[in-house]
Amino acid sequence: MRATRRARLGALLADRGMDAMLVSALPNIRYLTGFSGSNALLLVTADGATLLTDFRYATQVKTEVDPAVEVLIAPASLWAELWRILGARPSIGCLAFETAHLLHHETQRFLAAGAEGARWQWAPVVDLVEGLRESKDAGEVAEIRAAIAIAEQALGATLPLIHVGMTELAVAGELERALRVAGSEGFPFETIVASGPRSALPHARASTRVIARGDLLLIDFGAIHHGYCADITRTFVVGAPPTDRQREIHALVRESNGSASALVRRGMRGRDADALARDYIERAGFGEAFGHSLGHGIGLEVHEAPRLAKTAEAPLPPGAVVTIEPGVYLEGWGGVRIEDDVLLGPEGPVVLTSFPRDLVQL
């Protein structure tokens, strides 16, 4: 599978008249080779790939990296090793690099090295590997499903522990513990636990706020399995039955989520997918209160292409797994968001998340 990915990248490079690509983004390196460490560079050519890493990963590469990939343990810096390799490969004339994933000082360094050697030319590219990553293969979908199962198991274990008088941070702590126990390798982003009026902050960090009776409680969190992410949001009410207003806003968000999840299709432009939920919320008079985009791809990163947003012209590719996460946020009152993970399958959308979406009283 990884050999196929590298071959597809090689074909893209050939189309552009490029001889090789320096891949520096770690998720892209993992996608192409299997390597999950924190320090690596990858050189991909038409006929092979060379991974550069350091001594700390000398054992790990043996189990993780596809045997068809040449592995070099750099004695000093990865960059010094890269210049040495490039010097020994006169066939590389035009070398692509990832503009979105190099620091300015690294870019300056290798532009200077290129000028000194004056043999190869640098070609800036954007989103070449990210584009390949948008369509998930069956193995990747299985990893995402496993991450979702871990996340849902952890949320189920956490809800009975939540009560009036707890801080948001304490709720986040219980949830993160449950995620670890259920097998999550980590947290794809800082767990969002927002209660009462703070639930109107779409990206609130968990705080020391004490949860009060009747508060809305918005929890947005994820799990990681074999590097692949889940991303889920549910909103609850704590210690009292929901008010009419809470029911009304929750029902609106739930219906817009359900309708967008059912209607989103591969091939649809990202902006048209976004409109599926936005039009619904606008018709109900809450358009101003839904200020973020509808969703994003998930995979080796929790936010990756494609985007489901007002400004996204690109069509949604087949096999993408995207979030559908409409929300309504009313300053001073609170907010509701419901987020599901959806596979854009050949027969239509497949909602991978199954945790109940009701406005449950905790």
Q: Binding residues for Zn ion, per CB under 5 A?
A: 220, 231, 233, 323, 339
Closest approach, Cβ 119 to Zn ion, in A, equals 45
CB nearer to Zn ion: pick between 195 and 323: 323
DSSP 65: S
DSSP 119: S
Name every residue whose Cβ is closer than 8 Å to that of residue 127 and which is 6 or more positions away in sequence: 100, 305
Closest approach, Cβ 307 to Zn ion, in A, equals 11
Scanning the structure block, which residue is given the tokens 């520096």? 24
CB nearer to Zn ion: pick between 235 and 323: 323
Pairing of strands 48-53, 121-125: unpaired
CB nearer to Zn ion: pick between 50 and 323: 323
CB nearer to Zn ion: pick between 247 and 292: 292
Residue-wise DSSP of 283-324: HTT-GGG--S-SEEE-SSSSSEEEEESTT--SBPPTT-EEEE
Distance CA 261, CA 266 (A): 12
CB nearer to Zn ion: pick between 256 and 323: 323
Closest approach, Cβ 341 to Zn ion, in A, equals 9
Could you tell me if 237 and 215 are in contact, meaning their C-beta atoms sit under 8 angstroms apart?
Answer: yes
CB nearer to Zn ion: pick between 301 and 339: 339
- Exposure string of 160-198, with b = 16+ CB inside 10 Å and e = fewer, is eebeeebbbebbbbbbbebbeebebbebbeebbbbbbbb
CB nearer to Zn ion: pick between 50 and 293: 293
Closest approach, Cβ 220 to Zn ion, in A, equals 4
Which residue in 45, 5, 42, 4 sits closest to 25, CA to CA? 42
Which ranges of the chain would DSSP assign to H, the alpha helix?
Answer: 2-15, 26-33, 60-64, 78-87, 104-117, 128-134, 138-158, 168-182, 244-263, 270-283
List the structure tokens of 218.
């918005």
Closest approach, Cβ 323 to Zn ion, in A, equals 4
Name every residue whose Cβ is closer than 8 Å to that of residue 254 and which is 6 or more positions away in sequence: 338, 357
Distance CA 347, CA 201 (A): 36
Closest approach, Cβ 233 to Zn ion, in A, equals 5
Closest approach, Cβ 134 to Zn ion, in A, equals 16
CB nearer to Zn ion: pick between 153 and 233: 233
Closest approach, Cβ 337 to Zn ion, in A, equals 8
Return the biggest CA–CA distance within the chain. Answer: 72
Closest approach, Cβ 344 to Zn ion, in A, equals 16
Distance CA 294, CA 290 (A): 9
Could you tell me if 46 and 14 are in contact, meaning their C-beta atoms sit under 8 angstroms apart?
Answer: yes
